[in-house]
Structure 1
Amino acid sequence: MLSLTGSGSSLMISDAPTKLLPEHIQESLDIDVPKQKPASMICLFNFEASNIAADTVSSYVFSRSDVQVHTIVDRVVPAWVNETSDVIIMSYSGNSPEIDAIYEAAKLRRARIHCITSGGRLAELCKENKDNLLLVPKGLNNFDATGYEIGTLVNLYEAMGIKGIKDAMKAIIPDIIRYRDETWNSKLAWKLSVKLSDRIPVIYCVGELRAVHKRWKMLINQVIGKLAFSGELPEFDHNEIVSWTEDRNNREFMILMFRIRTDSELLNKIEDTVTGLLPEYKLNIKVIDLEGELMERAIKGIILADAVVGCMMEGE
């Protein structure tokens, strides 16, 4: 069992989003996870806000590793899971209602089980069955915990044979710290907070940035108490574009479109077409370009979400 205690400042419970995401990632990366049996198929169950960390880190694996990783937010364990599979269950509280059903099903399939949590029922089951337990600090809200979950999942993936992911994360730490310092209380953060305060936010991005639109939506829903919606390209299809251009109520919304350059020329063309078309209809839209490496781009989008929601809270 491995455990992170966390620094004193990061253990304070707060409804506000965290400014310490990069430091939390860095702190957790300093913990070495014992080498595991090399993985070939990983089933990653992630609940509550833990799916922000799951989507951020797994985007690297999808692009750079031949290990199959399936991120799942359901309670159904796939039929292909067996004694050669690794099952990771990640829940910050450890008390998600799906925990018992998933754990029991994974045990019946004789899968290798790894748990990332701060405690709760999940930690109890993992200890009882002597499975691989990685503890993150207690006493945080779900948003504060994200950095620790990201770093811990990176460590576990590296220990399971996904080489290079830990070095890749360490390499981007200086850039995400710099981005955080430039973004918190910036003109961009305050300007976006004002634009979002009297409109319904709609956040769009490509699949690699899935963690970004989830973070924005969760923060605005849970912390600010406002409606917010999100979606992904290229599923942002013809019918949805038509509704944006023809619906008379479209001025009630504020579109945030996160754009990156991908390895897919087709996806880049779709992004450029959508971001070029919608402003022609005088919609409330802001296109935000995220630069950097895999994982870095998503983390920057998460940091911007935290910064903007922090401004929205101060402005209330």
Structure 2
Amino acid sequence: MIKMKDLIQDFPHQLQESLNITKQCNLTVDRSISNVVICGLGGSGIGGELIKEWIRSEVKVPVEVCHSYTLPGYVSKSTLIIACSYSGNTEETLSAVDEALESGAVIVGISSGGTLSEKLEAHNFSVIKVPSGLPPRSALAYPLVQVLEVFEQLELLRSSLKNEVMSAVHLLQEHQEEIIAEAEQILNELGSKRLLLYAEDTFRPVLLRTCQQINENSKELAFFNVIPEMNHNEIVGWAQPSDQLLTVFVRSEEELDRNKKRLDLTHGVVSEKAAVRSVHTKGTGIIQKSLYAIHLFDWLSLFRSEENGVDVVEVNVIDYLKAELAK
């Protein structure tokens, strides 16, 4: 029986294990890569969003994340497709891979098995195998680190970032009890409200991941937006007060100066209309801070599921959709 609490608590170890898996990888390509498309959905796709943000200042070629059945029109023989599907059977990713095969692109798969592994191996493409048997959302550490490894092995980054992941492992282990305590504090403040998250745009994938975890684990809706974009539209919506939201500002001492000022001002505006709280991420750099926040909000999603009296693991409505689509 899967125990979500154990899986969340094990996240630092999973990151370490995923780093160990990279030592077994030996990727090569026979051509120059001009752009990269990372394909994946849900728990298998969020890793691509995180990596795209993390490598933004280090990557040598354009990167796009595809959460769709179809690929961008520019995909060609010089494109690298990184296909992520934990089960190996995600139909949207398999459809995108079929297009990639037709285009002659280079493909690397990340999966625990399934049709994706069979398809790519049949075409002599590399597949990085990750441990099976987990809910995809609880296996984030594996595609996350392996996508980073693909970029590093194919020399698409100006410098290695894996040491930052290792530092994050130590950070999470050191602050585990503190993280749990803060998650419990946020839960108490949340009460019957819904969660709304704001942060600098570098944290967009973290906020997206948090909402996904609240959706799947806690079985309720959650919302987010980022600075500076929300200062050009959503902030006007705060003309009316709301007692139905807890607005959590995810902060970092490394924020861009202009964004820091925007966040401070936005906090002031929102605090007059709704309950607010700030979360101050620990660590150095976007990788450590992102993983710290992810771990914190994963715990929150678990505690919220317990408060809601729901099965944290089941995703019956997703199973229903898959069954109906298969007819």
TM-score class, shorter-chain normalisation, is 0.7 to 0.9
User: Any conservation in 1 of the 2:68–2:96 contact (CA below 8 Å)?
Assistant: no
Alignment of 1:149-168 (within 5 A): 149-161=143-155, 162=157, 163-168=159-164
Alignment CA distance shift 1:153-1:234 (3 Å)? same
User: Any conservation in 1 of the 2:87–2:111 contact (CA below 8 Å)?
Assistant: yes
Identity of aligned residues (%): 23
Whichever residue aligns with residue 127 of structure 1, its letter is E
Distance 2:94 2:213 in 1: 28
Q: Is 1:176 aligned to residue 172 of structure 2?
A: yes
User: Any conservation in 2 of the 1:211–1:302 contact (CA below 8 Å)?
Assistant: no
Q: Is 1:287 aligned to residue 278 of structure 2?
A: yes
Question: Is the deviation greater in 100-109 or in 203-212?
Answer: 203-212
The SS at the match of 2:9 is coil
User: Any conservation in 2 of the 1:157–1:165 contact (CA below 8 Å)?
Assistant: no
Alignment of 1:194-209 (within 5 A): 194-209=188-203
**Structure 1 residue aligned with 2:210, among 186, 192, 216?**
216
The SS at the match of 2:83 is strand
Alignment of 1:110-259 (within 5 A): 110-161=104-155, 162=157, 163-184=159-180, 186=181, 188-244=182-238, 246-248=239-241, 250-259=242-251
Report how far residue 106 of structure 1 moved: 0.7
Structure 2: gaps of 5 or more residues: 310-327
Question: Is the deviation greater in 255-264 or in 42-51?
Answer: 255-264
Name the TM-score, length of structure 2 as normaliser. Answer: 0.84
User: Any conservation in 2 of the 1:56–1:299 contact (CA below 8 Å)?
Assistant: no
**Aligned length in residues:** 300
Report how far residue 282 of structure 1 moved: 4.7
Runs of 4+ in 1 over 6 A off after TM superposition: none
Distance 1:75 1:308 in 2: 32
User: Once the two structures are superposed, what CA deviation does each residue of 1:87-133 show, in whole Å capped at 9, x if it has no partner?
Assistant: 11112122222133211211121110011112222122112212110
Whichever residue aligns with residue 295 of structure 2, its letter is I
Distance 1:142 1:219 in 2: 11
**Structure 2 residue aligned with 1:48, among 42, 53, 58?**
42
Distance 1:180 1:158 in 2: 29
Match of 1:297 in 2: 289
User: Any conservation in 1 of the 2:84–2:93 contact (CA below 8 Å)?
Assistant: no
Name the TM-score, length of structure 1 as normaliser. Answer: 0.87
Whichever residue aligns with residue 240 of structure 2, its letter is D
User: Any conservation in 1 of the 2:39–2:93 contact (CA below 8 Å)?
Assistant: no
Whichever residue aligns with residue 169 of structure 1, its letter is V
Whichever residue aligns with residue 232 of structure 1, its letter is V
